[in-house]
Structure 1
Amino acid sequence: MKTIRSHYSFSLRALSILGAAFCLSFAPALQAATLHGNLDVAGGKSKKFGKNVLVTLYEAAEFTPLALATTQTDSSGDFRIEIAKEKSDSIFFLSANLSPEVRFMAVLGEELPTQAVVNELTTVAASYSMAQFFRTGQIAGSAYRLQIAAQMVPNIVDPATGQVSDVLLTSPNADETNSLRLTRSLGNVLNACVRNSTALTFFLQATDDEYGRTPIDTAEALANLARDPSQNASWIYSMSKYNRPYKPDLTSEPDNWSVTVKLNRTGRDDVFFGGAANVAWDSRGYAWVANNVVQGTPNSTTYNVVLKPDGTPSDGTNGTPDSPISGGGLLGVGWGVTIDYEDNDWFGNFGWGKPKSQTYPTQREGGKRGAGTGSVSRFLPDGTPTSENGYYGPLRVQGIEPDIYNNIWMASLGDTDRTLGSGVWVYRNGDPTDVVSSIVDWEYAPFGVAPVPNGNAAWVTFSGGLAGQNQSGLAKYRLNEDGSLEQTFYEDLGKTLKIVTVDFAGNAWVASQGTSSIFAFSPDGTKLGEYTGGGIFGPWGLAVDGEGNIWISNFGDIAANNDYPYGRVSKICGANPAAWPEGMTMGDPISPNSGYTVPNEGDEVLLPNGDPLYGPGAPPSYKPIMRQTSVQIDAAGNLWSINNWKPRFDVDATVNPGGDGIIIFVGIAPPPPLQF
């Protein structure tokens, strides 16, 4: 956590931005697209601050944005801009400098709208959605990433009106989480900066970037806060109470200033999320979500979910899937989902509870508790399955990942009736008919798999069973030229190991749920350390961000009668010294002791149909972030955290395990390299 610096400096970057604001674009009148806008301070209550202000329309680019047109607001804050193009190859955004250090912004997206508002709330939405591309005082980056980032803006604010979005105003957000009020509180902080020079100086000094540099203006300061949301949290909360044009706002101090968006719609009113487990992105930025059970039951679902980059269900247009998807042998998918290098999606069918029917060959009678033996399903980019019932061989696949040669590596957990082995399986070149495997005793129960960066090898976690009944360990396998799989490393390790992931240097990071710790190993198998702190509690999923630091999802413990106190995600320093905050080293926690939480603001958590989380007539739950099995980072730096189980373990383990939905931390994580 950063503390307030004792000095304030005016950066030369400010001069470059102010200078760019005067660049003009003279569009041919007959082809002009017209934007009518309003600079609206404090919801129209502070018109004197919005008059005679320069407003510039920009088009973002790879290295520096292009100023397309500049105008000036009238006495009511209104302005009008004409340009020749209606559609950007990247994105459009508006910037208004109320003073050299007070900048309001609005992200408009790929198409120029006919009207837009620039105010405190649009600035919050712009800075947070663009946080990973806003490190030099300007929004810049690849068009693909920026367009995905821009799609998160309407989840926070309505660009046409400048009001908080319907997404934040309604379930599963509203006062089921704190994000609606937190967004308003951030708007109040900006308004304080407009009105009070002391508050402005304070806010800029309270929001240094990763290198200790003071931001040049308020828009950059918010982007810094989005990336490091726990810095000076208490001080910023005090600022939010100076003047409160946006109400109702936060009533208590947050442990972090993350703007989050919860989503729980699948595309069909009669199909709910029931234990979403993991997510993978295709080349369009669409999210393919593994989903365990029918909501409210312990039984397998036959559907999985595909979401657009903004979290709304894919609708089948332009060759995209129509969510939810079914067929292809889908039955109670576990943790396993991945996208291969041909943009095909793979799911590992686990098979929970019922049904026991010949309709679903992945389920069979006679197993312990009727458990399934599983299969693997593959879908084309448009959602079409490539087989009727899935591909057989590996049993109850959990981790599944392609290597750089498009070999599909799978961790086969095995069959719980203990008659069938488990092991490591590979579909060479993505071909389910070209299979190699290495079988191990059922006690090992492989769970996670992570191919190494240079291919032909992968790390594998042996969980010892879903509940850690047996010794867990870490292994490494090599795919030889003759097609055989060879185990080249093994070490007993931790307890109830879950996911393993590999950073850019080939180091393996391992989640040990039973010891509430994270292990790291070098490529040659040398143990680099065991790490705790930052809210790590029953870790499960791991993600390496674009700077090499490690994000962790926390499932909590699995003791009977345990009610998970509060969900959270954690962040620790990875192996890249350049990305360590000052004074930290590898494995040190970056997130606060609480982790990054999503508090409730007083409304009970509801399912999409309005029922309580635990079903009709059940006692209320006030925990929007639940037991998590995965965190993944999209191409824009949004962290998707997955609610796999509900908070109460005693209820979940027997009759009603499926958690509700996904929570997106907007702009918080450096995006990893693209895989396509």
Structure 2
Amino acid sequence: MKQRLRVLHLHRGGLWRAIALSVGLALALTGCVSDDSPSENPLRLSGQVQSRSVGVGNYKVELYASFSGDPAAWVLLGEATTSGDGSFAIDYALSDAQANQQPILFVEASSGAAMLASAIGTDNGAVGAPVIVNDRTTVATGNAFAQFISASGIAGDAIGMRNAAQMATNLANPVSGAVGTALSSSPNGDATSTLATFNSLANVVAACVAAQDRCAQLFAAATPPGGVPPVNVLQALSNIVKYPAYPGYPDSAADPIFRLAQAAPAPYPGLAARPTNWLLFLKVTGGFYSEQNPSNLLNGVGNIAFDAQGYAWANDNYEPQYSGQPTCAGLSLLRFSPSAQIVPGSPYFGGGLSGAGFGITLDPSGNIWTGNFGFEDPPCIGTPLEAPHNSVSAFRPDGSAISPATGFTQGKISWPQGTSSDQAGNIWLANCGNDSVTKIPDGDPTRAVNIPLGVLAAGALPNLKPFGTVVDLDGNVWVTTNKGNTVVVLAPDGSIIKTLGNTGGDPARPLLSHPIGNAADSKGNVWVANSDWLDAPCPDRSNVGPAKNPSITLFQRGSHDPYPGSPFTGGGITVPWGISVDGNDTVWVFNFGPDGVGVTPTTALTGISRFCGTDTSKCPPGMKVGDPISPPTGYLSNSLERITGGQIDRSGNVWMMNNWKQNPNPDLNPGSNSIVIMIGAAAPLNTPVIGPPVALVPVVPRKVLAAQLR
């Protein structure tokens, strides 16, 4: 069964809906199992193995399955050998119990060191059409499942694996073997370098198929620093995702992957020059468009959070509008599927949503909370559309509003930014506008309390500007003050434990300089992003810094002291805003552009920075805490603009908010209309992240025959 990716456009007063059905899910709709099914269901997978669009004969084809009921199982369902034109057919059978576990099918075709592979998500283990296994499906599988691939097979968290199968269809169609619709179409396609990067990696696979000695070159290039070589092409591709940059940049001769991508035959139109990294950056606007207009879904997305199934919830700073036209406060809450399709019924409205900012969180009950900063362009002020700046909105997991039309305003909320739930379900908001924090005990606004962080005279402008919030292992809340250059640590009862500042530090290397985002690691230590630039507009922004000394600072859980060597720099860090810690405790820093916003336009690209965390065993050999893993440029992509928030999902994808344009007019619709996803780049996290991140423990695949499970 084939289903076309289709977009339904309803002109706004209300909703703009984009409904996208991935091919992997379309396959899943064939042949559901009824209650009176036999105990075993005879099935067949047929198709063709190709490289460079030509069938390859005498390849051994193995069909494996991963079952959600046993994420460690790497089950061999059957095998065959391709005929001269690359065609194959494998008969297999699944018990009712296996069919009900939404198995993911993996096809591996190998000849000597060469391998081609494909992943197919199913509902019941049945595939309703012949499949093509080729260079493209191999790259798609290697990237989407990068964090789940080992020498033994592919296994991991059931939800993360299922979501990875959906994400893979964005890169390559498992039926036709063609480039996936999302990657080949606007806002991707020829508009960014991602498709060319994907094609270059497909050329690397094709080079291996064409000559076994090139497979050996690939395995050598994809050997982790200080690690063991990969055993097959799929593991090599996953290693390239985990270690995406090579020493010696920008010397192309130092990058063996680029040399392989250029080797003849190179059938796919790839990169003309060596990239700073081999990551795939997929751009998402909610539809197949790039240009801004009032029918868009996104405008200035501030931050994102994931629920237990890996669905993404995001907030809009501004209402969608034409570029260069004034725009008022965003009024919507967005929900995306794990494969970045807008969920039917989303966006959601009401609940007091009004120009939400950096703050969004899920509580332990799965409700979504977002702080209403009240972003708007100056022409909106003094009109009926002027935004309030005094509330938080709450929504149920189905998208229905809990909060009233005004939002929850109790607790003296003022220009709220960071919004976090703690492990007990208390909601904490950083009030940028009145130098305080609001605590909503158990999510009950009638019990909300305001906690002053400093003395603020009536009517005075804020001196501290609280911004980021994060909860540590002890339930303490760490709050950055963007103007005050401090971090305030609050006990669960709201009392101030300690205020951390720059006293006694090196003035040339301040520990805190215009700090914004913060994030805890798994041990409860807290990382802080020092923008050295932002003066949050709540309401004034007269103290914008030079953006000359950007850095990140690590504070230790028990003592609250800065970690020796703090602050840390390098790795392409420019204007750090958001910050996130992955399942390996490595630190990802999201830069708000290549430099501060100024009157002189910039042509430089925005990069993502990555640092070694407190678990140095998960870093390249020889690295210390705070050492940059990313190259001096950062991980660059022309998909990226000015990024604020970013988070890591259950499959290891890093979702980043293109919040502002690269060269915006700050007063006329500065917002950008996209989210960018680095596919498979980070160690996965259990979601939702409430308090410190919890890694999804890697699963070692256990190879078995399907017959052994029946």
Shorter-normalised TM range: 0.7 to 0.9
> Is residue 333 of structure 1 aligned with residue 356 of structure 2?
yes
Q: Which moved more, 1:82-91 or 1:98-107?
A: 82-91
- In structure 2, do the counterparts of structure 1 residues 28 and 199 end up closer, same or farther at CA, with 3 Å as the change threshold? farther
- In structure 2, do the counterparts of structure 1 residues 231 and 152 end up closer, same or farther at CA, with 3 Å as the change threshold? same
For residue 501 of structure 1, what is the amino acid of its counterpart? A
* Match for residue 561 of structure 1 among 591, 599, 618: 599
* Match for residue 647 of structure 1 among 662, 676, 685: 662
Distance of 1:538 and 1:73 partners within structure 2: 53
Residue in structure 2 matched with residue 410 of structure 1 by the alignment: 429
> Is residue 450 of structure 1 aligned with residue 470 of structure 2?
yes
SS at match of 1:531: coil
1:43-69 per-residue CA deviation (whole Å, 9 max, x = no partner) reads 11xx3x333533323335422401112
1:218-242 per-residue CA deviation (whole Å, 9 max, x = no partner) reads 1110010011111367221111121
Share of identical aligned residues, percent?
31
CA contact (8 A) 1:90 1:144 kept: no
- In structure 2, do the counterparts of structure 1 residues 76 and 173 end up closer, same or farther at CA, with 3 Å as the change threshold? same
- In structure 2, do the counterparts of structure 1 residues 311 and 283 end up closer, same or farther at CA, with 3 Å as the change threshold? same
> Could you tell me how far 1:429 is from its partner in structure 2?
1.3
1:230-265 per-residue CA deviation (whole Å, 9 max, x = no partner) reads 136722111112124533221221111112211101
For residue 521 of structure 2, what is the amino acid of its counterpart? D
1:170-185 equivalence runs, <5 A: 170-185=185-200
SS at match of 2:263: coil
The 4+ residue runs of structure 1 with deviation greater than 6 A are 27-30, 266-269, 357-360
* Match for residue 393 of structure 2 among 365, 374, 377: 377
- In structure 2, do the counterparts of structure 1 residues 489 and 75 end up closer, same or farther at CA, with 3 Å as the change threshold? same
Residue in structure 1 matched with residue 413 of structure 2 by the alignment: 394
Distance of 2:356 and 2:274 partners within structure 1: 39
- In structure 2, do the counterparts of structure 1 residues 212 and 554 end up closer, same or farther at CA, with 3 Å as the change threshold? same
Residue in structure 2 matched with residue 147 of structure 1 by the alignment: 162
TM-score, normalized by length of structure 2?
A: 0.79
> Could you tell me how far 1:359 is from its partner in structure 2?
7.2
* Match for residue 671 of structure 2 among 641, 658, 670: 658
For residue 36 of structure 1, what is the amino acid of its counterpart? S
> Could you tell me how far 1:271 is from its partner in structure 2?
3.2
For residue 96 of structure 1, what is the amino acid of its counterpart? E
> Could you tell me how far 1:30 is from its partner in structure 2?
8.2
Distance of 1:663 and 1:490 partners within structure 2: 34
> Could you tell me how far 1:355 is from its partner in structure 2?
4.4
Distance of 2:660 and 2:687 partners within structure 1: 30
CA contact (8 A) 2:115 2:209 kept: no
1:577-656 equivalence runs, <5 A: 577-599=616-638, 624-648=639-663, 651-656=664-669
CA contact (8 A) 2:151 2:232 kept: no
SS at match of 2:142: helix
> Could you tell me how far 1:269 is from its partner in structure 2?
7.9
Q: Which moved more, 1:247-256 or 1:637-646?
A: 247-256
Residue in structure 2 matched with residue 479 of structure 1 by the alignment: 492
> Could you tell me how far 1:95 is from its partner in structure 2?
3.2
SS at match of 1:181: helix
Residue in structure 2 matched with residue 668 of structure 1 by the alignment: 681
Distance of 1:89 and 1:72 partners within structure 2: 28
SS at match of 2:463: helix
Residue in structure 1 matched with residue 41 of structure 2 by the alignment: 31
CA contact (8 A) 2:133 2:177 kept: yes
Residue in structure 2 matched with residue 572 of structure 1 by the alignment: 611
> Could you tell me how far 1:195 is from its partner in structure 2?
1.7
CA contact (8 A) 2:366 2:396 kept: yes
> Is residue 68 of structure 1 aligned with residue 77 of structure 2?
yes
> Is residue 522 of structure 1 aligned with residue 532 of structure 2?
no
SS at match of 2:224: coil
CA contact (8 A) 2:115 2:233 kept: yes
Q: Which moved more, 1:61-70 or 1:256-265?
A: 61-70
1:461-472 equivalence runs, <5 A: 461-464=480-483, 471-472=484-485
CA contact (8 A) 1:50 1:77 kept: yes
Residue in structure 1 matched with residue 367 of structure 2 by the alignment: 344
CA contact (8 A) 1:43 1:245 kept: no
CA contact (8 A) 2:149 2:235 kept: yes
For residue 509 of structure 1, what is the amino acid of its counterpart? W
Distance of 1:473 and 1:558 partners within structure 2: 21
> Could you tell me how far 1:178 is from its partner in structure 2?
1.0
Residue in structure 2 matched with residue 251 of structure 1 by the alignment: 272
Distance of 1:151 and 1:82 partners within structure 2: 24
SS at match of 1:237: helix
SS at match of 2:138: helix
> Is residue 547 of structure 1 aligned with residue 546 of structure 2?
no
- In structure 2, do the counterparts of structure 1 residues 391 and 208 end up closer, same or farther at CA, with 3 Å as the change threshold? same
Q: Which moved more, 1:654-663 or 1:443-452?
A: 654-663
Distance of 2:446 and 2:607 partners within structure 1: 41
SS at match of 2:255: helix
> Could you tell me how far 1:500 is from its partner in structure 2?
1.1
1:49-88 equivalence runs, <5 A: 49-59=56-66, 61-85=70-94, 87=99
Q: Does 1 or 2 have the higher relative contact order (CA < 8 Å, sep 6+)? A: 2
Distance of 2:82 and 2:407 partners within structure 1: 61
> Could you tell me how far 1:137 is from its partner in structure 2?
3.6
Distance of 1:327 and 1:29 partners within structure 2: 49
Residue in structure 1 matched with residue 335 of structure 2 by the alignment: 306
> Is residue 502 of structure 1 aligned with residue 516 of structure 2?
no
> Could you tell me how far 1:352 is from its partner in structure 2?
2.4
> Could you tell me how far 1:143 is from its partner in structure 2?
1.1
CA contact (8 A) 2:197 2:278 kept: yes
SS at match of 2:445: coil
- Unaligned runs of 5+ residues in structure 2 are 1-36, 248-253, 457-461, 503-510, 533-548, 690-710
Distance of 1:666 and 1:478 partners within structure 2: 37
* Match for residue 120 of structure 1 among 135, 146, 152: 135
TM-score, normalized by length of structure 1?
A: 0.83
Distance of 2:141 and 2:59 partners within structure 1: 22
> Is residue 110 of structure 1 aligned with residue 110 of structure 2?
no
SS at match of 1:566: coil
> Is residue 287 of structure 1 aligned with residue 312 of structure 2?
yes
- In structure 2, do the counterparts of structure 1 residues 426 and 262 end up closer, same or farther at CA, with 3 Å as the change threshold? same
For residue 74 of structure 1, what is the amino acid of its counterpart? S
- In structure 2, do the counterparts of structure 1 residues 500 and 203 end up closer, same or farther at CA, with 3 Å as the change threshold? same
1:538-561 per-residue CA deviation (whole Å, 9 max, x = no partner) reads 100000000101000001433521
> Could you tell me how far 1:502 is from its partner in structure 2?
0.9
Residue in structure 2 matched with residue 94 of structure 1 by the alignment: 106
For residue 104 of structure 1, what is the amino acid of its counterpart? L
Distance of 2:259 and 2:266 partners within structure 1: 15
State the Cα RMSD in Å.
Answer: 2.3
Equivalences, count: 590
1:398-424 per-residue CA deviation (whole Å, 9 max, x = no partner) reads 11111111111111111xxxxxx2311
Distance of 2:569 and 2:100 partners within structure 1: 45
Residue in structure 2 matched with residue 427 of structure 1 by the alignment: 440
CA contact (8 A) 2:151 2:231 kept: no
SS at match of 1:66: strand
CA contact (8 A) 2:105 2:122 kept: no
- Unaligned runs of 5+ residues in structure 1 are 1-26, 316-321, 365-371, 415-420, 465-470, 600-623
Residue in structure 1 matched with residue 501 of structure 2 by the alignment: 491
- In structure 2, do the counterparts of structure 1 residues 190 and 450 end up closer, same or farther at CA, with 3 Å as the change threshold? same
CA contact (8 A) 2:202 2:268 kept: no
CA contact (8 A) 2:435 2:465 kept: yes
1:332-376 per-residue CA deviation (whole Å, 9 max, x = no partner) reads 11111111110000111111236458977xx56xxxxxxx32310
